[in-house]
Chain A
Amino acid sequence: MCLAIPAKVLTVNGQEALITVQGVQRTANLMLLEETVAPGDYVLLHAGFAIRKWTAAEAQEQELLLAEVGYTHRD
């Protein structure tokens, strides 16, 4: 539940971004994010909020790790 997952930013609209996470499109709230993001950037997503900007390399690595610990995006 407290796991944060990497997501790719598709579009940014003010305080919200359209993202894809494990192939599923969702919106992410950007209110907690300290950095600015643009389409193509990665963020760490937790409970609907982007909590940190993430590099593509970090995101890819994290995805592999999540697969390794058997995590699927439930909550």
Chain B
Amino acid sequence: MSAKLQEIQNLLAQIGRPVQLMEVCGTHTMAIFRTGLRSLMPPSLRLLSGPGCPVCVTHDSFLEHALAIATQPNTLVATFGDMLRVPGRSGSLEAARAKGANVQVVYSPLDALAMARQHPDLRVVFLGIGFETTAPTTAGALVAAARDGVKNFSVLSAHKTMPNALSALLTSGEVKIDGFLMPGHVSVITGTSIYEPVARIFKRPAVVTGFEAGEILAGVEMTLRMIAEGRAEVGNAYAHTVTAEGNVKARALLAEVFEPCDDAWRGLGVIPGSGLKIRAAFAAHDAARHFPAPKVDVPETSRGCRCGDVLRGAITPPQCPLFRNVCTPWSPQGACMVSGEGTCAAYFRFS
């Protein structure tokens, strides 16, 4: 490990200016803290956390929509657990549940589908959040629902794709990002080719890496070497095989069920082509078509939470005035403190 650290020092000296790398995935943020790497990095290297925590980037307006559905009669809203405590403008799903709304935590969209089969009298709505790894699983549940005619099952989709969000970050130029660390297992599905635009158009290296200290260091080293040599390429420092095209079957299923749409991200605003909406062929199972969105213009910076700035890498959590004194995992004021993969939760636990 110390040899790698030495090499990182050498490369930084060769580059001769401060370098900022963004780890896109929330699980990486956690792993970098947990392994103590953040404190080992030389001062001229900064690691920024990116917009890779699915719950965190989910926009308030989606949560309002979900809450509006949950409070309708004869509905059951099924969600991944992390979503439950996210504070929205009109409360959280957990608070709605305490007031009698039927909100259930599931591990898989298939669990939600099973609930729909079990309760034909209820309209079961699954909250589809997550990126390219999770969206195919929602697609799988939708295909099964359509095949078996499970009419009372639908999905409210906030699924998103990462490449356009990274492009938006780079285009805005607000935060200087010299290169990206990409999560290994996500790349198993997506393949490495989805990072090509970042490398080709924006001339930034993007390196796929795992979650172990050695792998993360290897990823950092590979990225720095590219910067030092003036190369912007997609690299793989992950110990396992990640192919360029990823899991073709999963990607095909995703394309069968979803089509790209403009989508709102917390902190990043509306990004063209960054969302996944359910295709017309699956309209019968698209909750957005059955339940009108509530007409509220949700101001993002209510409650003083600075999640948006955190998600862009513009500030680190300790720079948020609410961090630690008002906002804690037990009394989260924003999504980035709720989710186990949130940057604020990681800083709270480890710094």
Contact = CB atoms under 8 A, between A and B. Distances in A.
Given A2-B27, A32-B140, A65-B210, A48 B107 contact: yes
B341 A1 contact: yes
Nearest to B132: A2
Q: Which label, helix, strand, loop or mixed, suits the secondary structure of the A interface?
A: loop
Contact of B55 (A1, A29, A47): A1
A23 to B, nearest CB: 15
B185 A69 contact: no
A48 B130 CA distance: 14
> Interface size bucket, B side?
35 or more
Interface in A13-67: 29, 31-34, 44, 46-49, 51-52, 58, 61, 65
Interface string B282-309: 0000000000000000000000000000
A41 B114 CA distance: 26
A1 B82 contact: yes
Contacts of A70: 30, 34
A4 B133 contact: yes
Contacts of B35: 68-69
A51 B190 CA distance: 11
Interface string B7-21: 000000000000000
B137 A49 contact: yes
Contacts of B81: 74-75
Contacts of A51: 133, 136, 188-189, 247, 250
A64 B52 CA distance: 23
Nearest to A74: B81
Looking at B189, B210, B248, the one whose CB has the most chain A CB atoms below 10 A away is B189
Interface string B60-86: 000000000000000000001110000
B135 to A, nearest CB: 10
A32 B81 CA distance: 23
Contact of A32 (B34, B80, B137): B137
Interface of B: 25-27, 30-31, 34-35, 52-55, 80-82, 105, 107-111, 129-131, 133-134, 136-137, 140, 143-144, 183, 185-186, 188-189, 210-212, 239-240, 247-250, 253, 339-341
Given A4-B133, A32-B253, 18 more contacts: A1-B55, A1-B129, A1-B341, A2-B27, A2-B52, A2-B130, A2-B131, A31-B140, A31-B253, A33-B249, A34-B247, A44-B188, A47-B108, A58-B240, A68-B35, A70-B30, A74-B340, A75-B80
